[in-house]
Structure 1
């Protein structure tokens, strides 16, 4: 069977894309959402079958396959733009498809604004996490298109941006574009949109008004720290060298074990927004510190895990290919052996050691696990004790 996927307008009297009108009369089985059916039913052959698209995707594709004939599917805008074409590729890999695209909603919004969109960074939070939008904001992209949903609304977007200090953008909201209630709402100030009730069908365009300061290396005194323990932070020069040793530009998932103030995770997120970051800490007082510092330094989207590292269900977390050990509770050897179960070949582990026994344990355990050790680096910051930065790489999986 073949899927013929036709992107359509939201206009109540929409015309099918060129080429699609000629083929529709030759098919019997059609599919789409209820809204799509209302838009196209008058253009379908008299004797046709319609399959509603709902939330049960496996069940939907069983229905398609049970017909054992080609299916024409109607979708909003461009099916290849965060659309139903990707759903077909997921649930019926290798399927034959014909695509007849229309403009996607962000394009339509830009058209109405006369806004050149060649360099707009497109993101979707429609039924997805915040990750794509978070990355675009951390990178300070000039213009960001956002596909929203019923929960992650324009108001929710504005609230999240304010929470993490991204108040340097203006917001356009395109509502029911090409529909009967179509309109565009503009706000110069994100804070004015936190209570806005938009039409169910909407998309957002963010445009940066001014850049946020973003130094390469965050000053230590800009982090909230543990009360009475100002030196409980990985110093900035040590942070930067440690992250460089992990080669994070080529990594996907970073674990920060013993995050304390969150300084290492925050620095990594700022410099490498593509990373999945999971930060672990056993001390309860660090929980609030992490929240304060991630908001102060505009670094949303990291996973925080509180409690004893050894008690966590690590298999439920994304497997790391880069690890920073900021704390080990005098159980370094046990931690490294426990961690080894979750590391793929090529993963790198870095520790900052002050005590000689930590250097000895890390080196001996890495050798026992058959990791490759890089030459140690020793850094002294101001009048603090020398820090030895140790790096080990896992060569292969057993």
Structure 2
């Protein structure tokens, strides 16, 4: 049985194996009753010691109960490099109490890649594509960016290159970094359009320097409408920019987008920060599917979508920090939203009936009421004139 103190030691192991481990990490492995890890990690250890070697299963989540069942033993869990950088460390430690574990990280792939490339770590955008769609990269494709993508395996790299070409970034310089830090290390450089290697080894990361004629996603709110597939049911760019300004997304916050339509407001909320979350409610299944496709294409697949009437589907959802109602606000919905603690609400109205409801709500509950009138220049005979859009009334309130 383990002595008092941590029963689990999380050891980061690099491609140089035993030789690259710190003295405390080696001591933990030599004293362990069990060592758990992927076959590749276990193969990096010498055949020594009496510890039982346990292969971590696939999918990864299946191994967590196996690990927790060994409480009371001295257990070492092996993970790649720094276990808390796109690694398994946080997945495991969320099930443990402070004092039950200790970690000995090794240099991360990010650090090793930066050392090979001469890049400043703080300037690199890092993306883990082990089990996430390749479109996760989309917000980071802009000239001047430096991106490091951790790949599932070597076979996934040509797919990455082909996708970059499809996005108009075929001129991007790709540095393929294989088995960093070990005897199999190899670093090669090419472009997305010309990559034709079939011998890329695992583990592998790809450093991307975006270049080409592809469109870069702006950093400001209010993307052009043509970024989104829609059937006309979309909060238009200027109004969407005003809505997002009123919603004021902050890191880690959750948005409810009621009547999501094309998903444009929720998607831009998610693009504002990688820690934000959003749930979209939409009755129409075709619009729901379109919103899902838009979210995936723009790299925010974490948008959660719920089909059905929002009033029927709000129960048991995590409480939002902000709610956007793009249309269809009703008294019952207002009353339901009034029960949410510490919440910001932004609602838009186009029809006279909903505008009257917003005026009534403003009188009862306070907040800000804003009338938005927009007009665009359009041909008028041989000259030009202003064509007005329907005015939008925005109610913004916090309770």
Pick the TM interval, shorter chain: 0.7 to 0.9
For residue 166 of structure 1, report the CA deviation from its aligned partner. 6.3
Mapped contact 1:121–1:141 kept (Cα < 8 A): no
Give the stretch that moved more between structures: 175-184 or 286-295: 286-295
For residue 285 of structure 1, report the CA deviation from its aligned partner. 5.3
Mapped contact 2:279–2:306 kept (Cα < 8 A): no
- What are structure 2's unaligned runs of at least 5 residues? 376-387
Counterpart residue number, 1:258? 259
Backbone CA RMSD of aligned residues: 4.1
Counterpart residue number, 1:204? 206
Counterpart residue number, 1:321? 321
Q: 2:65 is matched with which residue: 38, 49, 59?
A: 59
Task: Give CA-to-partner distance per residue, 1:359-394, whole Å, 9 cap, x none.
Answer: 3334556888xxx4312111211123332111232x
Mapped contact 1:164–1:300 kept (Cα < 8 A): no
Q: 1:83 is matched with which residue: 87, 102, 107?
A: 87
Distance between the aligned counterparts of 2:87 and 2:156, measured in 1?
18
Q: Give the direction of change, closer, same or farther, for the CA distance of 1:269–1:27 in structure 2 (3 Å limit).
A: closer
Counterpart residue number, 1:10? 15
Mapped contact 1:135–1:273 kept (Cα < 8 A): no
Counterpart residue number, 1:375? 368
Counterpart residue number, 2:126? 122
For residue 169 of structure 1, report the CA deviation from its aligned partner. 4.3
What TM-score, normalized to structure 2? Answer: 0.74
Task: Give CA-to-partner distance per residue, 1:331-366, whole Å, 9 cap, x none.
Answer: 62233345556x4x2212212213332133345568
Distance between the aligned counterparts of 2:31 and 2:23, measured in 1?
14
Counterpart residue number, 1:335? 333
Kindly report which structure 2 residues correspond to 1:157-196, keeping only aligned pairs within 5 A, or say none: 157-158=160-161, 169-179=172-182, 181-189=184-192
Give the stretch that moved more between structures: 354-363 or 300-309: 300-309
Mapped contact 2:112–2:180 kept (Cα < 8 A): yes
Q: 2:354 is matched with which residue: 358, 369, 372?
A: 358
Counterpart residue number, 2:381? none
Distance between the aligned counterparts of 1:163 and 1:340, measured in 2?
46
Counterpart residue number, 2:97? 93
Counterpart residue number, 2:343? 347
1:390 and 2:392 equivalent?
A: no
Distance between the aligned counterparts of 1:225 and 1:21, measured in 2?
55
- What are structure 1's unaligned runs of at least 5 residues? none
For residue 31 of structure 1, report the CA deviation from its aligned partner. 0.7
1:309 and 2:313 equivalent?
A: no
Distance between the aligned counterparts of 1:113 and 1:215, measured in 2?
26
Counterpart residue number, 1:279? 280
Kindly report which structure 2 residues correspond to 1:145-164, keeping only aligned pairs within 5 A, or say none: 145-149=148-152, 153-155=156-158, 157-158=160-161
Distance between the aligned counterparts of 2:197 and 2:327, measured in 1?
42
1:38 and 2:43 equivalent?
A: yes
Mapped contact 1:121–1:136 kept (Cα < 8 A): no
Query: Secondary structure of 1:59's match?
Result: helix
Q: How many residues align?
A: 375
What TM-score, normalized to structure 1? Answer: 0.74
Counterpart residue number, 2:382? none
